[in-house]
């Protein structure tokens, strides 16, 4: 016997229309790419999304077609987030920090019919089309996301000489649209991995997965986003849907603050202060920039600012970063974990009631974990043979996940099975799971150092090294060793004006790590390479130090 409840599809359209009806005055603030602050609300976003849908229809966009974007966190990008999937088309947000070959590959592989871009990326697109014209052959229209007054002075003779102006495109259109009643499994968003090995791979999100992900992320034990919050996603909208914030903020009706193209600590600080941000989300390098700006102001009292929560993802946060954020702002630093293939939310670190009376050091031992999966995400760890390992917080193995917003196949690779026999996806992370469900990333499977038959966590070593006062960034890679197979090399980017020595660093590590984990050498560099998503690019470091030989 089946239940007698209505079978209404879970659609992004419902999120947009709900926000327009119930949170129509909810404010959306953008640090505009053209300069200044732009203010709108959910009601206006819905109307402009309808105008955009009409314009896209006239450009020939149909259900199942792909629209690509190269754009920052702005209200216009938010309108694309709503209009494109609600029409039944697919929104492909492209990370402009990828290599030119990867960017062009994504445009071709996604079969994008229309390409939208912020002013910032006009020169980039022009160069890409000139270098890879065949890969842009399917693109029928290009749109620059600005008004007529700010359109580039001369596009004549460039690959964008026929580019359309966003505001002119939608200006004359009606502000209502007959949104189609889609199947909830209809594709809605397409995000590509950063392609650290091989070509980027596409994760194709559905309306259903996106709505469920949004519902989960709003829950108190997850990101805890509500109508009472002012949310600033610093994580870009071109990176895994800005961790879902374009949709969960609309669902909850929270005020949304979008930092635009100004990715400086000064901009983040000013927006937190001026707009009353209570929750902000970003990678560790973002928070380091914010702290550096605060220090440049002469260490002002930031404890009175409204910020309550810094959500940290993308890579592991060192205890020193967590401590600095919490002490400086009197706000919680909340670890989260996820990846493109998990939409991205996979776990959030919220402490349990039994942790209230722990000491500060005991609490920190919990805070550095990546957290517990929300309802809907299941985790297990397995050894190299696929055998399930105990959830004791000690055993570590390959982290496997499954759930309604976890990918089951890559776009255009459905014939390639990426799941195990229990439908779990291999994340590529090496992790532990403790009895309370807290997951801790030990390392990426390709980054873990195997020394004398034992594993050394590069992440743990890096996090300890970051506590040294002169260290801005730290990376650990394995170097071949004739006796021990591999030994750790510690690579340090000093803080500006600091000149630490090898003895300074190793002396700091002494007593904080196991003796046999101690790096065999320490090298100092002037610039740390990063991936397109802000993580340290260890592939480049391995290439740089491929011929390195330990002297001791």
Q: Is 148 exposed, middle or buried (0-12, 13-18, 19+ CB in 10 A)?
A: exposed
Peptide bond into 144 cis (omega under 30): no
Ramachandran angles phi, psi of 242, nearest 5°: 50, 40
Give the three-state DSSP class for 353: helix
- Does an H or E element contain 102, and which? helix 100-110
From the CB of residue 247, how many other CB atoms can be counted at a distance below 10 Å? 27
Our CA dihedral for 226, 229, 230, 234, rounded to 10 degrees, sits at -60
CA distance 283 to 338: 12
* 540 Cβ contact list (under 8 Å, min separation 6): 529
- In Å, how far are 149, 156, 218, 474 from 488, measured between CA atoms? 55, 54, 40, 12
Name the active-site residue from 79, 173, 184, 341.
Answer: 341
Using alpha carbons, select from 341, 103, 344, 64 the residue that is nearest to residue 204: 341
Is residue 450 part of the annotated active site? The answer reads yes
Using alpha carbons, select from 200, 204, 199, 176 the residue that is nearest to residue 188: 204
Is residue 518 part of the annotated active site? The answer reads no
Is residue 341 part of the annotated active site? The answer reads yes
Residue with tokens 């940290």: 312
Q: Is the dihedral of CA 109, 75, 339, 286 positive or negative?
A: positive
Name the active-site residue from 58, 181, 412, 450.
Answer: 450
Q: DSSP letter at 149?
A: G
Q: DSSP letter at 33?
A: T
378-382, strands of its sheet edge to edge: 378-382, 396-402, 425-433, 439-444
CA distance 305 to 36: 22
Q: What is the phi-psi region of residue 395: left when phi exceeds 0, alpha when psi lies from -120 to 50, beta otherwise?
A: beta
3-state secondary structure 304-327: CCCCCEEEECCCCCCHHHHHHHHH
Name the active-site residue from 455, 484, 502, 518.
Answer: 455
Q: Is the dihedral of CA 144, 148, 152, 156 positive or negative?
A: positive
Please identify every residue annotated as catalytic.
193, 341, 450, 455
């Amino acid at each position: 016997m089946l239940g007698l409840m209505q079978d209404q599809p879970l659609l992004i359209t419902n999120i947009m229309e709900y926000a327009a009806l119930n949170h129509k005055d909810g404010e959306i603030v953008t640090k505009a790419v053209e300069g200044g602050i732009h203010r709108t609300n959910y009601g206006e976003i819905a109307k402009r999304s309808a105008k955009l849908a009409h314009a896209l229809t006239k450009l020939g966009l149909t259900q199942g077609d792909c629209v690509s974007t190269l754009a920052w966190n702005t209200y216009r990008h938010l309108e694309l987030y709503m209009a494109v999937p609600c029409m039944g088309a697919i929104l492909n947000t492209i990370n402009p920090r990828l290599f030119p070959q990867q960017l062009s590959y994504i445009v071709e592989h996604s079969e994008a019919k229309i390409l939208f871009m912020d002013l910032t990326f006009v020169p980039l697109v022009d160069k890409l089309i000139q270098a890879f014209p065949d890969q842009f052959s399917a693109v029928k229209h290009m749109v620059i996301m600005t008004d007529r007054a700010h359109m580039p002075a001369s596009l004549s003779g460039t690959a964008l000489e026929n580019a359309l102006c966003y505001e002119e495109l939608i200006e004359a259109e009606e502000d209502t649209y007959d949104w189609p009643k889609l199947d909830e499994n209809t594709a809605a968003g397409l995000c590509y991995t950063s392609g650290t090995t091989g070509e980027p791979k596409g994760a194709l999100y559905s309306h259903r997965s996106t709505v469920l992900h949004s519902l989960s992320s709003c829950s108190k034990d997850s990101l805890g986003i509500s109508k009472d919050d002012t949310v600033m996603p610093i994580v870009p909208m071109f990176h895994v849907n800005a961790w879902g914030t374009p949709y969960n903020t609309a669902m909850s009706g929270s005020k949304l603050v979008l930092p635009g193209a100004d990715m400086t600590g000064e901009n983040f600080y000013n927006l937190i202060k001026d707009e009353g941000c209570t929750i902000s989300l970003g990678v560790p390098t973002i928070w380091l920039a914010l702290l550096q700006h605060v220090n440049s102001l002469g260490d002002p009292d930031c404890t009175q600012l409204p910020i309550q929560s810094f959500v940290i993802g993308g890579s592991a946060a060192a205890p020193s970063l967590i401590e600095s954020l919490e002490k400086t702002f009197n706000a919680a630093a909340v670890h989260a974990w996820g990846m493109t293939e998990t939409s991205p939310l996979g776990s959030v670190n919220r402490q349990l009631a039994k942790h209230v009376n722990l000491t500060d050091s005991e609490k920190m031992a919990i805070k550095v974990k990546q957290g517990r999966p929300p309802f809907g995400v299941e985790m297990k760890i397995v050894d190299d043979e696929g055998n399930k390992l105990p959830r004791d917080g000690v055993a570590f193995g390959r982290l496997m996940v499954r759930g309604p917003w976890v990918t089951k196949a890559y776009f255009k690779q459905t014939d390639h099975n990426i799941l195990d026999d229990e439908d779990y996806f291999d994340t590529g992370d090496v992790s532990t799971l403790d009895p309370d469900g807290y997951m801790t990333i030990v390392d990426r499977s390709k980054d873990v150092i195997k020394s004398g038959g034992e594993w050394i966590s590069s992440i743990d070593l890096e996090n300890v090294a970051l506590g040294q006062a002169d260290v801005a960034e730290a990376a650990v890679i394995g170097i071949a060793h004739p006796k021990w197979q591999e030994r750790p090399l510690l690579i340090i980017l000093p803080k500006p004006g600091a000149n630490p020595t090898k003895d300074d660093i190793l002396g700091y590590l002494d007593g904080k790590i196991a003796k046999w984990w101690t790096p065999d050498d320490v090298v100092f560099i002037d610039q740390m390479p990063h991936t397109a998503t802000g993580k340290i690019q260890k592939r480049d470091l391995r290439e740089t130090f491929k011929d390195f030989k330990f002297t001791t």
